[in-house]
Amino acid sequence: MENTASRRTRPAKPALTREWIVEETVRIMREEGFEKATMRRVAARLDTGAASLYVYFPNNAELHAAALDQMLSTATSAETGWWRDRLDTLLDNYAEVLFALPGLARSAVVVRPLGPNSIRVYDQLLGLLIEGGADPGPAAWGVNLLLQYVTATAAEHSSTAPKEMYSDRDPQREFAGLARAIADADSATAPNLARHGQLAYTGTPRQRMQWAISVIVEGIRATATPGTETGR
Amino acid sequence: MENTASRRTRPAKPALTREWIVEETVRIMREEGFEKATMRRVAARLDTGAASLYVYFPNNAELHAAALDQMLSTATSAETGWWRDRLDTLLDNYAEVLFALPGLARSAVVVRPLGPNSIRVYDQLLGLLIEGGADPGPAAWGVNLLLQYVTATAAEHSSTAPKEMYSDRDPQREFAGLARAIADADSATAPNLARHGQLAYTGTPRQRMQWAISVIVEGIRATATPGTETGR
DNA sequence: ACCTGAACACCGTTCAAGT
DNA sequence: ACCTGAACACCGTTCAAGT
């Protein structure tokens, strides 16, 4: 009774659905960049007004989160292998999605995706940390810490050209501001930076990311959480 | 010759300076919230048009970063005491500024402040990590990791009411979405979350932050960087 | 060099009115 | 319940013209 669309032939305007809106949003982000995936433009591509989208999403941040969840369908770890290698693969896949659209990462720092693909990533990451010997408490907290690191690192790149990939960025450009600031800081006001500051911008972005993931993973395995009581 | 302002009495419109613009921006952020510190409104409060600000700042992100640097004048560690306590104090002071204005934290995830107060924080943090036994390489990379964690955590709160403080937020509300997602995830699709997911939202925000800082600090002290060669 | 008004090209969100 | 056009209340940034 309610769904008579199948009886009609080629309806000029198919009804909106959550999935349809998300798909179109992902398409715009991939084709035109994150910045173009505004409420107005997504609605326009669906042949409607922006107000219609508010039936399905309370605000644009939630729409972005849903689009990210959709894109995370490619983020999976291998089924076999050492837990640490699988963890690296999983985070690498997660990072790949976000580094391709740094503006989306910026949005995800504030509103985390909670759809099926995100939940699968959280679940796998939690399982891998436990498999690696972490207690469930630190592992559960650690999932947030690891994903927050990857998300924030991807977001840092959102002011640069959208096509640039993290593996081949120019460190000279990336740290230009910091290098100048360190050079300006004399050894009286910033003695430690004067002595060791140049070490901050050694290595490739990939090396720094892998180091940071090691730092966090090792820290998770070594640091107990305050207890098992729930907050409040 | 050029500066004749001192000869005049009470000029109706004092000349713009970088410092004057930053001060007014900080004032607006504190009085009206981060969201109100737009180029147009800052300019209006300085009795000019938004275009005038572009003589001093290339875009609004740089103005925000300059305002944050100004606010970080209160972020210092004690002069004496155990290195770890001083590190906690320093990061706590840093966090206090950002949690008071989560929108500013959100902006800082992308454009890091590089003024004198920020440089002083970087320098002190670097010194404390080295004092704590970290090698200079990991310490230099670790400074970024620690500050990124605090910044991103503060930014996460930018969608909630601006007056709320991190120490007394309601965990029920904070994790409402995640809790629902975990509850929805059956043990077939998300076995690890089904078993341990509830541990993700234990503890207070402060406990989680202190745990995370311990994780990162211990990880920094235990994890060597790939080498001392500079990137390319 | 610095400053300005006006213009350009947009935003997110709400709401009354429709179906 | 869902959809819509129009309105509300703004944005960041650029630019030609001034001083």
Q: What is the pLDDT of residue A171?
A: 54
The CA distance from A131 to A124, in Å, is 10
Looking at residue A175, its pLDDT comes to: 76
Nearest chain A alpha carbon to B156 = A110
Mean pLDDT by 10 residues, chain A (232 residues): 35 78 97 96 96 97 98 91 97 98 97 96 98 98 98 87 42 72 83 94 94 98 77 34
Residue B22 (CA) to nucleotide C15 (C1'), in angstroms, measures 38
Q: In angstroms, how far is C15 C1' from A54 CA?
A: 13
The pLDDT value recorded for residue A164 is 39
pTM check: above 0.85: yes
Q: What is the pLDDT of residue A172?
A: 57
For chain A, say whether B110 makes contact (Cβ under 8 Å).
yes
Minimal Cα–Cα distance from B46 to chain A, Å?
Answer: 27
What is residue A6's predicted lDDT score, i.e. its pLDDT? 35
Residue A56: what pLDDT? 97
Highest mean pLDDT among B7-21, B128-142, B154-168: B128-142
For chain A positions 52-71, those within 8 Å of chain B (CB to CB) are 61
The pLDDT of residue A150 is: 98
Q: Chain A closest CA to B140's CA: distance in Å?
A: 5
Q: Is there a contact between A149 and B145 if contact means CB atoms under 8 Å apart?
A: yes
- What single-letter DSSP state applies at residue B202? B
User: Measuring from the CA of residue A53 to each C1', which nucleotide is nearest?
Assistant: D3
Is residue A137 a contact partner of residue A228, using CB atoms and an 8 Å limit?
yes
Q: Which residue is nearest to nucleotide D14 (CA to C1')?
A: B51
Q: Helix H segments across B47-112?
A: 60-71, 83-100, 102-110
Span B93-106, average pLDDT: 97
At residue A161, the pLDDT reads: 41
Chain B residues closer than 8 Å to A129 by CB: none
Please report the residues numbered 141 through 200 in chain A whose beta carbons come closer than 8 angstroms to any beta carbon of chain B. 141-145, 148-149, 151-153, 155-156, 158-159, 170-171, 177-178, 180-182, 185, 189-193, 195-200
The SS3 of residue B27 is: helix
* pLDDT at res. A173: 64
pLDDT of residue B67 exceeding 80, the answer is yes
Q: Which of A192, A204, A207, A208 to mutate to test the interface with B (most CBs of B within 10 A)?
A: A192
Nucleotides of D under 7 A from a protein CB: 2-7, 10-16
What residues contact A191, with CB distance under 8 A and at least 6 apart?
B123, B127
**B192/chain A closest Cα distance in angstroms:** 6
Q: B114 at the A interface (CB within 8 A)?
A: yes
- Tell me the three-class secondary structure of chain A, residue by residue: CCCCCCCCCCCCCCCCCHHHHHHHHHHHHHHHCHHHCCHHHHHHHCCCCHHHHHHCCCCHHHHHHHHHHHHHHHCCCCCCCCHHHHHHHHHHHHHHHHHHCHHHHHHHHHCCCCCHHHHHHHHHHHHHHHHCCCCHHHHHHHHHHHHHHHHHHHHHHHHCCCCCCHHHCCHHHHCHHHHHHHHHCCCCCCHHHHHHHHHHHECCHHHHHHHHHHHHHHHHHHCCCCCCCECC
pLDDT in tens, B223-232: 999 974 433 3
Between the CA of A108 and the C1' of C5, what is the distance in angstroms?
38
The pair of structure tokens assigned to A121 is: 């990533």
Q: Could you tell me the distance in Å between the CA of residue A60 and the C1' of nucleotide C18?
A: 25
Residue in B with minimal Cα distance to A211: B225
Tell me if chain A has a CB within 8 Å of the CB of B222.
Answer: yes
